[in-house]
């Protein structure tokens, strides 16, 4: 009997520990204390997906982010079906949905059996009301993550502009030499 209950609790504990470890690796939760991570764990929604199942669809309003506990998902750009990224255990997506309800910029599909944990805007707002200190910590980290991503996007835009400028220059030189 003991071993039966022991097995059940061990599995549960190991699952909770692995979720805890995953949360600690995510930038948004990295600066949280152990007690605070446990508080976040309690408000997450566990969702299980089968291969091919759509997690969310491009154009629908964002409601929050997902953390991959196990499995793989693909981020797909709708009009073309182009696969933008493949994400696996410990990675997260959809974090812009925590800020506002702007439409999702891509569709996410489960590639294998997936266990995801959803962290949603409504729960974040509720958390800010109940525990403003923890809420502000998460929001600051979220802003920092999004800011980092924006900086990277700006750098990429700059690089692309430079490349475009070089290409234009080359084309202009060729035209002159042909002329």
**Residues interacting with another protein, by CB under 8 A?**
45-47, 49, 51-61, 63-64, 74, 76-81, 83, 101, 107, 109, 120-122, 126, 129-132
Pick between residue 74 and residue 89 the one whose CB is nearest to another protein.
Answer: 74
39, 131 in Cβ contact below 8 A? yes
The helix or strand, by DSSP H or E, that contains position 175, with its residue range, turns out to be helix 132-178
81, 122 in Cβ contact below 8 A? no
Least CB distance to another protein at residue 58 (A): 8
Least CB distance to another protein at residue 129 (A): 6
Task: Classify 116 as helix, strand or coil.
Answer: strand
Pick between residue 45 and residue 151 the one whose CB is nearest to another protein.
Answer: 45
Least CB distance to another protein at residue 111 (A): 9
Least CB distance to another protein at residue 108 (A): 8
Pick between residue 94 and residue 170 the one whose CB is nearest to another protein.
Answer: 94
Q: What are phi and psi of 116, to 5 degrees?
A: -115, 155
CB atoms within 10 A of CB 26: 20
Task: Classify 153 as helix, strand or coil.
Answer: helix
């Amino acid at each position: 009997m003991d071993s039966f209950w022991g097995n059940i609790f061990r599995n549960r504990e190991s699952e909770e520990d692995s979720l805890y470890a995953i949360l600690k690796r995510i930038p948004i939760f990295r600066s949280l204390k152990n007690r605070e991570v446990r508080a976040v764990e309690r408000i997450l929604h566990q969702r299980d997906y089968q291969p091919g199942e759509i997690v969310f669809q491009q154009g629908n309003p964002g409601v929050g982010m997902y953390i991959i506990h196990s499995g793989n998902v693909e981020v797909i750009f709708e009009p073309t079906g182009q696969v933008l990224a493949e994400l696996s255990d410990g990675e997260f997506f959809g974090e812009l949905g925590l800020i506002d309800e702007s439409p999702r910029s891509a569709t996410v599909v489960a590639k294998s059996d997936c266990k995801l944990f959803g962290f949603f805007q409504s729960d974040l707002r509720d958390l800010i009301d109940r525990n403003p200190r923890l809420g502000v910590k998460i929001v600051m980290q979220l802003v920092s993550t999004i800011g980092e991503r924006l900086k990277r996007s700006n750098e990429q835009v700059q690089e692309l502009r430079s490349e475009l400028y070089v290409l234009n220059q080359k084309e202009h030189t060729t035209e002159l030499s042909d002329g």
